[in-house]
Amino acid sequence: IQSLSLDVNLVSEGGAVTLEDEGFELLRAADAAGAWIIEDDYVGEFHYGPHNPPPLKSMDATGRVIYVGTFSKSMFPALRLGYVVAPPKLVATFHRIAGATMQGAPSSMQAIMAKFITEGHFPTHIRRMREVYAERRNTLLAEAARELDGLLDVQRVETGFHTMGDLPPGLRDTDLAEAATRAGIATAPLSRFTITPVARQAITLGFGAVPPQQIVAGVRALSLVLRDLVGR
């Protein structure tokens, strides 16, 4: 294996995040194999648990991790700015690749974002937005526990903007997603994101762009859809 792409923010089947011990083990394996780890931390600023796991890059003593981030999630998508924290010996290579393959981002936008960071506004913005997203996440989890108990097993997440809900036996995720769409609820079946079929039947539940009041209404509407499908 020459490289490994690691998305530390994806909702896993158990809802777990990469632990520090596992991170060190992964780094040792990459160093022994002479492999690169590409750490895609696209919503790394938004953790809601009591313990925010450090980026793998912060534990990388041998220069095996290429850390990739973006401001599209933390600021706004139209900004179209991202960044790479590369080992020193790869910086020149990344410059050549970027020059040959990218049209580049406007210099003015880069300068404005750099000034926003150096003047200390970015951490303040992140703290405020973390509170906003945490409230939305908490609203979703609380309403799911109240309205979807026994209908949908909603996973508790500690990072990101969405979670997963596991369906009761005998119900397909595509059927629920289609019924939810007809009821005006935007969601997606887990099977849409898999290359090969999986036994797990689940749907995605996003909360990042939805105010708490709409989350409450949406969960209640989803409850009615589920009750209709399972005959309750």
Q: Tell which residue, 128, 144, 136, has the closest CA to residue 209.
A: 136
* 20 vs 149, higher pLDDT: 149
Instruction: Give the per-residue pLDDT at 9.
Output: 56
Q: Domains along the chain?
A: 3-119 (3.40.640.10), 128-230 (3.90.1150.10)
How would residue 6 be classed by pLDDT, with cut points 50, 70 and 90?
confident
Q: Are the C-beta atoms of 215 and 207 separated by less than 8 Å?
A: yes
Region for residue 133 given its phi and psi (left: phi exceeds 0; alpha: psi -120 to 50; beta: otherwise)? alpha
How would residue 14 be classed by pLDDT, with cut points 50, 70 and 90?
very low
pLDDT per residue over 172-211, tens digit each? 999 999 999 999 999 999 999 998 988 999 999 999 999 9
* 148 vs 20, higher pLDDT: 148
Instruction: Give the per-residue pLDDT at 100.
Output: 87
User: How far apart (Å, rounded) are the C-alpha atoms in residues 124 and 130?
Assistant: 10
Task: Tell me the average pLDDT of the chain.
Answer: 90
Instruction: Give the per-residue pLDDT at 126.
Output: 96
SS3 69: strand
Prediction pTM value: 0.85
Residue 105 has pLDDT above 90, yes or no: no
Terminal Cα distance for the chain, rounded:
50
Residue 19 has pLDDT above 80, yes or no: no
Rounded to an integer, the average pLDDT of 55-72 is 93
How would residue 5 be classed by pLDDT, with cut points 50, 70 and 90?
confident
Give the helix/strand (H/E) hosting 185.
none
Instruction: Give the per-residue pLDDT at 20.
Output: 66
Percent residues over pLDDT 70 in the chain: 93
Cβ density class 182-197: b for 16+ within 10 Å, e for less: eeebebbbbbeeeeee
Backbone angles phi, psi at 118, to 5 degrees: -65, -25
Chain-centre distance of CA 90, in angstroms?
A: 27
